[in-house]
Structure 1
Amino acid sequence: MDTQAFTGLTLADMGHLAPELTLVAFTLALILLDLFLPRKMSRTVIGWLSLLGVAVSAGFVIYNLDPANTVSLLGGAYRIDDFANILKLIFLVGTALILLMSFGSTEEEEIHQTGEYYYLLLPATMGAMFMASSSDLITLYVGLETLSIASYVLVGMRKRNLLSSEGAFKYAVQGGIASAFILYGMSFLYGMTGSTNITAIRQGIAQLDPSMEAMLYMSFFLLLAGFGFKIAAAPFHTWAPDVYQGAPTPISAFLATVSKGAGFAVMFRLFYGIYLQSDSSGAPLNIQKDAFLALCVVAAAAMIVGNVLALKQSNMKRLLAYSGIANAGYLLVPLAAKFSLVHYSNFAEFSYYLTAYMLMNIGAFAVLMVVKKASGTEDVRGYAGLFYRAPWTTFAMVILVLSLAGFPVTGGFFGKIFILMGTLENKIYWLASIMLATSVLSFYYYFGVIRQMFMRSEAQQTEVKPAKALIVTIWICALASVAMGAYPQGLLRFVNEVFNLLEVF
C-alpha cells in the first residue's frame, strides 16, 4: 500500500470519507462529554447523540450514492463504491435500531456504564463500514479489528453477570484465533504476489506458476475458517450461543446483524476479487471450482446444524443464535453460487435478505427484552400467554417470526425465494434442496414460540410495560418486514441499478 497516499488526501477525498469521519468525531466528542455529564443525564443525552451521529453518517452515505462514480482513496486501499455504500446503509440502519431499542432499557440489561455502551457502538459500526470499503488487506484488517475489539468490550458490559464475563472471554479468545487464521491466509497471498491490494493480488495470481497452487488453496481455507467464525457459520459457530446468551440483548442483536453483515461484505469483495479466476481461454481455474464448492458445503452445514440444534432450545437467546447460524448458511448461498451468464443478481439477493434478516432479528430481540422484563426469564416459556397481556406486541412478534420462518408475504419469504431461484438457475440443485428442507424444518421451533404466546393462557398474568423506544423499534421492524414482502421488487431494482460487478474489485 502506498504510504504517500495518506498525506495526499484532498478536501474532496475527506468529503468521501465523511460517513466514517462523522462516527469518529461523534465518538471522541461523546467520550469527552461523558466525563462531565452526571450519570443519569448521560443515559439520555449520550444515547440520543449517538443516534444522531449514526443518522448524520447515513445521510453522507446517501449523498455519496452514485453508480457512475467510484472513488479510490489511500493508494487504492479504500474504495467508495455503491457495493460498499449499500452495505454501509444497512449497517447504519441496523445500528440505529439497536441504539433505539436500548433507550430506557439499560438498567434491565444490567448495563451500568451507559455512556461507554452507547459510544462504543459507533467505532464498532465504523469498523464494519471500513470492511465494506476495503480493497487492501491492511485496511481490511484494521476495520476487522476495530469492529472486533469494540464488540469484545460490548459483550462484557454486564460486569456483574458471570455469563457475560464468560461470553466475553470466549469471544475474545476465539476471535483472536480467527483473526490469526485470517492474517496467516493474508500472508500467503502477500508472499505469492508481493502486494496487499486485492486488484494487484488478482492480477498476480493469474500469472502464478502452477507449483504455487497449494499455497493458493491454503490461503483460501485459512481465510474461510477465519471469516466463517466472524459470520458464525458451521463448523465455526461454537462461540455464538454462549456469547449471545451472555451479552446484553441489544449487543446480541448487533452481533447477529451488523457484525455478521460486515463479515459477508469482506467475503464478497475478497473471494470474488481473488478466487473467481479463469485462464486465458475463459475456463475456470481449479481454485475457482473448489473454493466455491467449499463455500457451498459450509453453507449447507450451517443450514443443517443451525436448524437441527435450534429444535431443542428452550432459551430464546440461544434459539436466535442457532437461527443466526442457519441464516448465515442462507446468506452464504448467493456468494457460493457465483455469478454466471444466466444469473448475475447474487448481490441484490444477498442484500435483500440481509436487510430482511436484520429487521426481523432486531425486532425479535426487542420483543425478547419486553418479555424478559415482564417475566424475568429469557426462556421460551416466558412468552406464555403473551397475547393476553400484550396483544399488539404479540401481533408484531407473529409478523417477525413468520418472516424468520420464511412464511409467504413477508420479507423473509421473498428473500429465501430469490436466493433459492438463483441457486436453481445456476443448477446447484443439491444446495437448493437443503435450503428448502431446512427452511421447512425451521417452522417447528419458530411456530413453537407462536404456540406459547396464544395457547398458554394459564401462565401467570404478569403486567407488561415495555419502554416506548422498544415498542417503536418492534413496530418499525415488523412493518418494514411486511413492506418488503408487499413490494419486494423495489429494493431489488434499486440494488441492481446501482451495483456493478466490476466495482467489487
Structure 2
Amino acid sequence: MNADTLLSYQWGQMAPEFIILGVAALLSLLDLFLPKSYNRRSLAWIALVGILIAVLSLIGLFDSKTASILHDTFRLDSFGKAFKLILLIGAACVIVLAESYDPREGFKKYRGEFYYLFLTGLLGAMVMTSSGDLITLFVGLELLSVSSYILAGMRKKHAGSNEAAIKYVINGGISTAITLFGMSYLYGLTGTTNLMEMKDVMTAQAASGQYMYLYGLAFFMVLVGLSFKLASAPFHMWAPDVYQGSPTPVTAFLSVVSKTAGFVILLRILLTLFLTMPGDESQTFSFLETHSIYISCLAGISIIAGNVIALRQRNIKRMFAYSSIAHAGYILVAISALGYFTFDAVWFYLMAYLLMNLGAFAVIQLITDASNSEDIADFAGLYRRSPLLAAGFAVFILSLAGIPGTAGFIGKLNIFMNALMTDPGHFVLASIMIGGTVISYFYYFGIMTQMFFRPAATTEKIKVPAGIGTVVVIALAGTILFGVAPNTALDFLHHNFGSFNDFLK
C-alpha cells in the first residue's frame, strides 16, 4: 500500500477512534514519567475530556453518508454511530466513577494504569461497532477482552480481585477459542474474511444445500463463543465471581460497556451473514429464522437462571451480576424475535440499561467503599442517612424491575411488543419475560426494604462526592425522561440514524 492510497482514505471517519487512541497513549506516557508521589487521580479528567471530544466528533459524523475505508474493514454506518454513542456515554460515566473510587487497599498505586487500560478497552469496543471484516472484529474483541482481564485484577493485593482476574482469563480464553473455531469455518467455506463478500458467497452456496451443515456448525460455535462474552446462561459461570471481585468501576464497565460491545459483535456477525442466507432448500425462511430457536433457548434460560439465582444472593455486586444475566436474556429475546423494531428495541434497551445500571453502581460504590462491605444489609436505613440518595437508588431499582414510568419499563415493553408482532408470535418468550420480571421484584424490592424499612447501624450522614453525585443526577434524569417521554430517545434515533437501512449495504 503506497502513500497515495493511504492519503486517499477518508480518515476523518475514524476520528473518534483516533482521539481515544491518542488520549490512551498520552495517559500511558504521563503515568510512566510522572513521579510516583504525584496523585494520578487527576488523570481521570484528561480521560474524560478525551471521551467528550470523541463524542463531539461522533456527533459531527451523524450527517455523513455511509463510508468504508481500508478495503471495507472499517464501516461507518448508522449502526456504528448509534452504538458508539452508547459506548462513549457509558465510558464517560465510568471514568467519573473511577475518579471517585477510593478503596482502602490495592488501587491507588495502579490508578494511572486503570485510565489508559480502560480507554484501550473502549477503543476495542468502538472498533467492533464499525468492523466490516472478521479480522478487525476479532482484533477489537481481544483488545477489549485483554484490557478487561487486567482491569478485573487491578487490586493486586485483594484476593477477590485476583480470583476474578484468573477466572475471567480462563473463561475468556475458552470463549475466544470457540469463537475462532466458528470463524475459521466461515473463512474456510467462503475464502474471505470480509463480511459483505462472505454474505454473498454464503447466500449462493446455501442454495445448493451441501454446505448447510457446516454453516450450521459455524453458526453454533460463534453463538456459543459470544454467549460467554454476553454472560448469557448457561455460559455465565464467570460473571458472578468477576463482578464481585473486580473494583466497582470495572464491574460497572463490564455490565454496561462490555455487554453493549458483546451485543454489537453478535448483531454484526449474525445479522450480516445469516439474515439473508436461505435456511432450507425451499428458501422459504432465512437461516437465522430457521435456527433462531437456539437464541430463544439462550434468552429463556438466561432470564430464568439470572432472576431465580439472584433471589439467594446477599452480596450486592453478585446480585447485580445475576441481574445482568437476566437482562442479557431480555435483549436476546429481541434478537431472537427479529421483528420490525429489533434494532430500535435493542438500542433503546441498552441505553436505558446504561442509565439505570450506572446510577445503581454509583450508589453501590459509595456505600460499599464507606462500609468496606458489599452485604445488602449495609444499605439498611439509607433513607435516614441520605434521603435523596435513597430516592435516586429506588428509581434505578424500579427501572431495573420494569415499573411503569421508568426507562426500564419502556425498554421491556418495546422488546415484548417486538416479540409479539412477529408471525408467528413468540408467545413463550413473552411469557418467560413476564415471569422473570415478576421474580425480579422479590430481590429488587428486598433492597428497597433494607433502605426504607430497616434501622440503620449508624446515623452518620453520607457525604456524596461530586463525581458520584453527577453520575447519579445524569442517570436519574435520563431514566425518568425516557420513561415518561420515550419518544425523546426514539425520535433522536430515527432522525439521526434512520431505520439502519444501510446495515447490509
Shorter-chain TM band = over 0.9
Q: Give the aligned partner of residue 460 of structure 1.
A: 458
Q: Give the aligned partner of residue 482 of structure 1.
A: 480
Would the aligned equivalents of 2:243 and 2:321 in 1 still touch at CA under 8 Å?
Answer: yes
Would the aligned equivalents of 1:220 and 1:291 in 2 still touch at CA under 8 Å?
Answer: no
Unmatched runs of 5 consecutive residues or more in structure 2: none
Whole-angstrom distance in 2 between the partners of 1:5 and 1:228: 40
Q: Give the aligned partner of residue 329 of structure 2.
A: 329
Whole-angstrom distance in 2 between the partners of 1:152 and 1:218: 29
Whole-angstrom distance in 1 between the partners of 2:465 and 2:52: 22
Describe how 1:1-150 pairs up with structure 2 within 5 A: 4=1, 8-10=5-7, 13-39=10-36, 41-66=38-63, 69-108=65-104, 110-111=106-107, 112-150=109-147
Task: Give the direction of change, closer, same or farther, for the CA distance of 1:159–1:303 in structure 2 (3 Å limit).
Answer: same
Q: Give the aligned partner of residue 421 of structure 2.
A: 425
Task: Give the direction of change, closer, same or farther, for the CA distance of 1:148–1:482 in structure 2 (3 Å limit).
Answer: same
Whole-angstrom distance in 1 between the partners of 2:199 and 2:40: 48
Q: Deviations over 1:204-245 (max 9, x none)?
A: 111214221111011011111111011110111000000001
Whole-angstrom distance in 1 between the partners of 2:105 and 2:402: 30
Q: Deviations over 1:289-339 (max 9, x none)?
A: 342121111111111110000011100000000000000011111111114
Would the aligned equivalents of 1:374 and 1:465 in 2 still touch at CA under 8 Å?
Answer: no
Task: Give the direction of change, closer, same or farther, for the CA distance of 1:282–1:22 in structure 2 (3 Å limit).
Answer: same
User: Residue 253 of structure 1: CA displacement?
Assistant: 0.6
Task: Give the direction of change, closer, same or farther, for the CA distance of 1:502–1:283 in structure 2 (3 Å limit).
Answer: farther
Whole-angstrom distance in 2 between the partners of 1:70 and 1:389: 52
**1:309 correspondence with 2:306:** no
Q: Give the aligned partner of residue 299 of structure 1.
A: 299
* Counterpart AA for 2:195: I
Q: Give the aligned partner of residue 206 of structure 1.
A: 203
1:345 alignment partner, one of 329, 332, 341: 341
Q: Give the aligned partner of residue 284 of structure 1.
A: 285
Whole-angstrom distance in 2 between the partners of 1:462 and 1:109: 23
* Counterpart AA for 2:470: V
Q: Give the aligned partner of residue 236 of structure 2.
A: 237
- 3-state SS of the aligned residue for 1:72? strand
**1:254 correspondence with 2:250:** no
Whole-angstrom distance in 2 between the partners of 1:396 and 1:116: 31
Would the aligned equivalents of 1:47 and 1:118 in 2 still touch at CA under 8 Å?
Answer: yes
* Counterpart AA for 1:284: F
**1:228 correspondence with 2:227:** yes
Q: Give the aligned partner of residue 446 of structure 1.
A: 444
Whole-angstrom distance in 2 between the partners of 1:195 and 1:81: 21
Q: Deviations over 1:375-427 (max 9, x none)?
A: 22111101001111111110110110000100110000111011101111111
Whole-angstrom distance in 2 between the partners of 1:397 and 1:40: 36
Task: Give the direction of change, closer, same or farther, for the CA distance of 1:6–1:388 in structure 2 (3 Å limit).
Answer: farther
**1:372 correspondence with 2:368:** yes
- 3-state SS of the aligned residue for 1:284? coil
Q: How many residues align?
A: 496
User: Residue 282 of structure 1: CA displacement?
Assistant: 5.9
* Counterpart AA for 2:332: L
Describe how 1:178-197 pairs up with structure 2 within 5 A: 178-197=175-194
Would the aligned equivalents of 2:41 and 2:111 in 1 still touch at CA under 8 Å?
Answer: no
User: Residue 9 of structure 1: CA displacement?
Assistant: 3.2
Would the aligned equivalents of 1:6 and 1:74 in 2 still touch at CA under 8 Å?
Answer: no
Would the aligned equivalents of 2:199 and 2:272 in 1 still touch at CA under 8 Å?
Answer: yes
Would the aligned equivalents of 1:34 and 1:42 in 2 still touch at CA under 8 Å?
Answer: no
Whole-angstrom distance in 2 between the partners of 1:457 and 1:7: 71
Could you tell me the TM-score, scaled by structure 2's length?
0.95
Task: Give the direction of change, closer, same or farther, for the CA distance of 1:389–1:502 in structure 2 (3 Å limit).
Answer: same
Task: Give the direction of change, closer, same or farther, for the CA distance of 1:333–1:189 in structure 2 (3 Å limit).
Answer: same
Unmatched runs of 5 consecutive residues or more in structure 1: none
Could you tell me the TM-score, scaled by structure 1's length?
0.95
Task: Give the direction of change, closer, same or farther, for the CA distance of 1:110–1:297 in structure 2 (3 Å limit).
Answer: same
* CA-based RMSD: 1.8
Q: Give the aligned partner of residue 151 of structure 1.
A: 148
**1:411 correspondence with 2:407:** yes
Whole-angstrom distance in 2 between the partners of 1:462 and 1:452: 17
Would the aligned equivalents of 1:109 and 1:249 in 2 still touch at CA under 8 Å?
Answer: no
Q: Deviations over 1:103-122 (max 9, x none)?
A: 23234473121111111111
Q: Which moved more, 1:360-369 or 1:288-297?
A: 288-297
Q: Which moved more, 1:487-496 or 1:31-40?
A: 31-40
Q: Give the aligned partner of residue 318 of structure 1.
A: 318
Would the aligned equivalents of 1:360 and 1:401 in 2 still touch at CA under 8 Å?
Answer: yes
